Amino acid sequence: MQKWRATRRLLLNSYSSKSRFDHPRSNPISDHSTTISRSSSGFESWTSRIHYRHLATATIQRNPAFSTLNSDDINHFKGILGDKNVIEDEDTLLFANTDWMRKYKGSSKLLLQPRTTQEVSEVLKYCNSRRLAVVPQGGNTGLVGGSVPVFDEVIINVGSMKQVISFDKVSGVLVCEAGCILENLVCFLDNQGFIMPLDLGAKGSCQIGGNVSTNAGGLRLVRYGSLHGTVLGIEAVLANGDVLDMLGTLRKDNTGYDLKHLFIGSEGSLGIVTKVSILTPPKLSSVNLAFLACKDYSSCQKLLFEAKRRLGEILSAFEFLDNESLNLALNHLEGVRNPLPPAMHNFYVLIETTGSDESYDKEKLEAFLLRSMEDGLISDGVIAQDINQASSFWRIREGVPEALMKAGAVYKYDLSLPVETMYNLVEEMRTILGNSAKVIGYGHLGDGNLHLNISTPQYDDVILAQIEPFVYEWTSKQRGSISAEHGLGLMKANKIFYSKSHETVQLMASIKKLMDPNGILNPYKVLPYSIVSYS
Amino acid sequence: MKIMVAVKRVIDYAVKIRVKPDKTGVETQNVKMSMNPFCEIALEEALRIKEGGMASEVVAVSMGPAQCVDTLRTGLAMGADRAIHVDATGPLYPLSVAKLFKALVELEKPGLLILGKQAIDDDCNQTGQMVAGLLGWPQGTFASKVVLDKEKQLATVDREVDGGLETLCMDLPAVITTDLRLNQPRYATLPNIMKAKSKVIKKYTPQELNIEIKSDLEVLQVTEPPKRKAGVIVSSVDELIDKLKNEAHVI
């Protein structure tokens, strides 16, 4: 039996989402990203050879109004946090300075690891008084460069604040600190008979504070809704150190302006989230997963329409990937095989149902699928017969970003578009780029969210010029969002006008100025630099 | 030639198991059940043998309460031609299962009986061997490769043993139990799920097969293994040596 268990563990680990964050052994991007150039003013510029071009039109300079760290500051931090939690060690800093995609690399010299809200408050108060810029950091799994410094901002990592504070077994309200890793919360809740309302490929490393700060979407949004609905309360620390206790656990509370929504999705630019209170759904026993093949995109759409009607309340996920995405996953991921008998299909759809009655749900799903097959919406499909088969189907869909990283350079776009026209963008991109790049499209079809990715062996400015601003303009014309769930971060800090009006952005800037007059929280990100100016 | 395959309905192996508070067993209420992984491999091997032209029919057999029919439906959806359900409530230990299989084999007369090497709920690893003993058939257990010779009515089985691989050659009919590396089971495709709905599941009771189910075993208690203690971070080599010497007593 031991041999069996060991082999199973090997198999399971190769499917586990944690492997998504093992540093890829041969990453062409990291070979390029360590070039650091010195600008004439003497400050170390963060730019890398590849990434410099991304900001060709708006090369960022370090804001001279921010102070530079000195030894007094470091001693002060040691006084607040203790020596062990003030980190200047270069290897640790290298990891904290680099984002998951290995695209953005800061040059911070200091990483702080507060353990309590009080420590966060004292740190921020001091930084505000000294005008030291800071970057709030959690699991560092963001995809738009929002979690790493641009220059030498002090990194405040809340990963040490990982206690579960309370859990109400009747209402399902979980109160925990911001540094709790999502997968750990899922395990904790599993023992109680509940689940987290969000699920994403990064669950092995991402932290709930970061999820909330970026309003993470994920695979289950179509069933449980967004964090704006499921988060009941937040405790956050403002730039001046004030602790804002809005950690309510009430389902309904209409007393005044609901300020917690400001912190959900503002990517750490208005305050550091230190505690979260979230409503968790009960864990339902019957989960079924089907992996289906469709011959064209309009079949996928019709399938979505039918699924919402016929599966109704038990539908819990609806994802799609095109043929190129599947091939990428099959070629670059280990231990992954095509669930369907070998044949050329153009699109694949993953449908998951979650309900309380196993046989009823299975019958409902089978009836729906067989009928869809008779109607010609599905050309083939498989239903997972046990949890391991289901995990392997999910591994394919969740592993596409990882496969893209292994394939070379990736231009990643996360767009909200009307479902009818969504895939047209992928096809147009393919026509424009021809053989010079591989264009793939996959995503949360149930939410109207396309992940458009363009894969090339290496980064190339010519290709980038063909992609941007075409993708943003196309999206804007459809009144879509240029960032459905990834956020703006650094990558799209100047792109907000493609999806929001001037007046709206002006108001955002006013709020930012009100809450963070010195602009120390996560500078250079989210809002356009030209709008958020500081004296 | 007919192939009979044993499939068992067990707790899905990805489920976190919990022991019942009264320690009489493991919590099975509201827990996902699926086909035993080794039985999946057994069924896959039978299907491949049939697709290779060496067999005419694959019959899946499961024993237990009414819900076993779900597992048999999965087997039919994978490609088995028909299924047999032996309806028995109460615990079934390997010797009882083996006796029931002997009765079924005498009814159906298959040329090959394939089982998983063990079930993941009891880890007994006994049923295949016991059936072979009762029938007087040769057995190739822990099979990692099976090659049939139709003319000579032989089976050549590679077995995974502790020292490596052992190759046996045996006359048919024979009993084979499957190990992990034998094959990768196929998924149940929609067209096959559709066909499975019209396939036959025949029901027998132990009385009809003239077998009396009695057990010589009684489960007294089921407890969890002791929880692993947290590790300790030591701050220096001296402290490590001190702990190894004085606490762990290994040096």
Residues of chain B with a CB closer than 8 angstroms to some CB in chain A: 12-16, 30-32, 34-35, 37, 40, 70, 74, 77, 118, 120, 123, 180, 184, 187-191, 193-194
pLDDT surpassing 80 at residue A72: yes
Nearest Cα residue to B192 out of B68, B43, B13:
B43
Percentage of residues of chain A with pLDDT beyond 90: 77
Indicate whether A23 pLDDT > 50.
Answer: no
CA–CA min distance A13, chain B (Å): 12
- Cα angle, residue B203 at apex, residues B201 and B204 outer, rounded to 5°: 150
A366 vs B: CB within 8 A: yes
User: pLDDT over 70 for what percent of chain A?
Assistant: 89
Residues 210-239 of A with CB under 8 A from B: none
The neighbour count for residue B44, using CB atoms within 10 Å, is: 20
Q: Give the torsion sign (CA, A478, A479, A484, A488).
A: positive
pLDDT band at A47 (very low <50, low <70, confident <90, very high): very low
Q: In A329-387, which ranges are E strands?
A: 347-355, 380-383
Res A31: pLDDT: 31
A contacts of B37 (beta carbons < 8 Å): 386, 388
Cβ atoms of A320 and A303 closer than 8 Å: no
Q: How many CA atoms are closer than 13 Å to the CA of A267, on its beta-carbon side?
A: 25
Q: What is the pLDDT of residue A24?
A: 35
Note whether A287 contacts B: Cβ–Cβ < 8 A. Answer: yes
Is pLDDT of A11 > 50? no
Q: How many angstroms separate the Cα of B241 from the Cα of each of A5, B231, B232? A: 33, 16, 13
Distance (Å, whole) CA A447 – CA B202: 45
Look at residue B15 in the predicted model and tell me its pLDDT: 86
For B150-159, how does the pLDDT look when each residue is reduced to its tens digit (9 = 90+)? 899 999 999 9
* Class of A164-279 in CATH: alpha beta
Residue A488 exposed, middle or buried by CB count within 10 Å (0-12, 13-18, 19+) = buried
pLDDT per residue as tens digits for the range B165-207: 999 999 999 999 999 999 999 999 999 998 998 999 999 999 9
Q: Are A378 and B190 an interchain contact pair (Cβ–Cβ within 8 Å)?
A: yes
Residue A39 pLDDT > 50, yes or no?
A: no
Interstrand relation of B82-87 and B201-204 (parallel, antiparallel or unpaired): parallel
Length of chain A: 535
Q: In whole angstroms, what is the distance from residue A449 CA to residue A429 CA?
A: 17
Distance from A388 to chain B by nearest Cα, in Å?
A: 6
Per CB-CB distance under 8 Å, the chain B contacts of A385 are 34-35, 40, 74, 77, 187-188
Chain A residues within 8 A of B70 when measuring between CB atoms? 359
Q: Measured between alpha carbons, how far is B230 from A78 in angstroms, rounded to an integer?
A: 28
The whole-model pTM stands at: 0.83
Residue A267 confidence (pLDDT)? 96
Mean pLDDT, all residues of chain A = 87
Considering only residues A31 and B117, tell me which one the structure prediction assigns the higher pLDDT.
B117
Are A143 and A414 a contacting pair, CB within 8 Å?
Answer: yes
**For the CA atoms of A301, A306, A312, A315, what is the dihedral angle to 10 degrees?**
-50
Report the pLDDT averaged over residues A294-313: 93
Model confidence over A337-355: pLDDT tens digits?
899 977 878 999 999 999 9
Query: What domains are defined for chain B?
Result: 2-223 (3.40.50.620)
**Cα A169 to Cα A112, A191, A401, B65, distances in angstroms:** 35, 11, 36, 33
Nearest to A203 by CA among A17, A444, A392: A17
Summarize pLDDT for A490-518 with one digit per residue, the tens. Answer: 999 989 999 999 999 999 999 999 999 99
Q: Does A444 have pLDDT greater than 80?
A: yes
A369–B190 CB contact, under 8 Å: yes
Could you read off the pLDDT of A168-195 as tens digits, one per residue?
A: 999 999 999 999 999 999 999 998 999 9
Q: Is 50 exceeded by the pLDDT of residue A326?
A: yes
Residue of chain A nearest B70, judged by CA positions: A359
Cα distance between residue A469 and residue A495, in whole Å: 9
pLDDT given for residue A10 in this prediction: 45
Count CB atoms within 10 A of the CB of residue B148: 21
Q: Where do the domains of chain A lie?
A: 2-17+284-400, 28-157, 164-279, 408-498
> For residues B102 and A39, which has the higher predicted lDDT (pLDDT)?
B102
Q: Would strands A449-456 and A438-444 be described as parallel, antiparallel, or unpaired?
A: antiparallel
Q: What is the rounded CA–CA span in Å between residue B234 and residue B250?
A: 17
Using pLDDT thresholds of 50, 70 and 90, give the confidence band for residue A534: low
Alpha carbon A274 to chain centroid, angstroms = 19
User: Using 50, 70 and 90 to split pLDDT, how confident is the model at A52?
Assistant: very low
Residue contact B74–A385, C-beta within 8 A: yes
Q: Is the pLDDT of residue A285 over 50?
A: yes
pLDDT computed for residue A53 by the predictor: 35
pLDDT score for A33: 32
Q: Which one of A337, A383, A387 has the shortest CB-CB distance to B12?
A: A387
Average pLDDT over residues A401-423: 93
Predicted pLDDT at B68: 93
* Mean pLDDT confidence for A285-309: 93
How far apart, in Å, do the first and last CA atoms of chain B sit?
63
The class level of CATH for A2-17+284-400 reads alpha beta
Among A522, A515, A521, A493, smallest CA distance to A505 is for: A493
In the CATH hierarchy, which fold is given to the domain comprising A408-498? Alpha-Beta Plaits (3.30.70)
A388 → chain B, closest CA residue: B14
Task: Tokens for B226, please give them.
Answer: 């002791």
Average pLDDT, stretch A235-253?
95
Over its length of 251 residues, how does chain B's per-residue pLDDT go in tens digits?
A: 999 999 999 999 888 888 998 988 898 887 889 999 999 999 999 999 999 999 999 999 999 999 999 999 999 999 999 999 999 988 899 999 999 999 999 999 999 999 999 999 999 999 999 999 999 999 999 999 999 998 999 999 999 999 999 999 999 999 999 999 999 999 999 999 989 989 999 999 999 999 888 888 888 999 988 888 888 888 889 989 988 898 888 88
- Return the pLDDT at A359: 83
**What CATH number matches the domain at A28-157, 3.30.43.10, 3.90.1170.50, 2.40.128.130, 3.40.50.1470?**
3.30.43.10
Q: How far is Cα B6 from Cα A406, in angstroms, rounded to an integer?
A: 42
**For B15, nearest residue in chain A (alpha carbons):** A387
Q: What is the pLDDT of residue A60?
A: 84
Q: Say if A2-17+284-400 and A408-498 have the same CATH topology.
A: yes
**Per-residue pLDDT, B89:** 86
ipTM: 0.84
Question: pLDDT category, A44, cuts 50, 70, 90?
Answer: very low
Kindly report the nearest CA distance between residue A223 and chain B, in angstroms.
21
